[in-house]
Amino acid sequence: MKTLEDLKRIREEAQQTLKIRLDTGTTITVGMGTCGIAAGARDTMRAILDELAGRDIDAHVATVGCIGMCAREPLVDIQQANQPRVTYGNVLPAMVPRLIEEHLIRGAVIEEWVVGRIEPAVQG
């Protein structure tokens, strides 16, 4: 059984790890082309901003006109330094809390939602 102190320490460590990951640059990009908006990208964007604000996470959120896969909109792309750039497809607002929790907080890619991935450049 963990004491309250243990839990506090674990929480602080997790926050520190997240802070380090975010400090190295996290960008979340939402496709806002016509088809993205038609598929509900505005609501997805709002859900992402709400989730980040609610968890006090400081990540850069950007929009692009078109990511290029109409059928998989809304598309959300997460890029972190030294991590693969991962694009998730058909991201509805209800999926956002899990996305933030697993990808940003725990650093675990949600494989079943992935539509594309670019590995980080290998340093030579």
Q: Please give the residue ranges that form the binding site for ligand FES (CB under 6 A).
A: 33-35, 66-70
- Give 110: exposed, middle or buried? Use CB within 10 Å, 0-12, 13-18, 19+: middle
β 60-64/26-31 pair status? parallel
Instruction: State in angstroms the smallest separation of the CB of 73 from ligand FES.
Output: 6
Return the number of the residue (57 or 70) whose C-beta is nearest ligand FES. Answer: 70
Min separation Cβ 93 and ligand FES, Å:
19
* Between 22 and 64, CB nearer to ligand FES: 64
Phi, psi of 54 (to 5 degrees): -65, -30
Taking the least distance from each CB to ligand FES, the nearer of 22 and 69 is 69
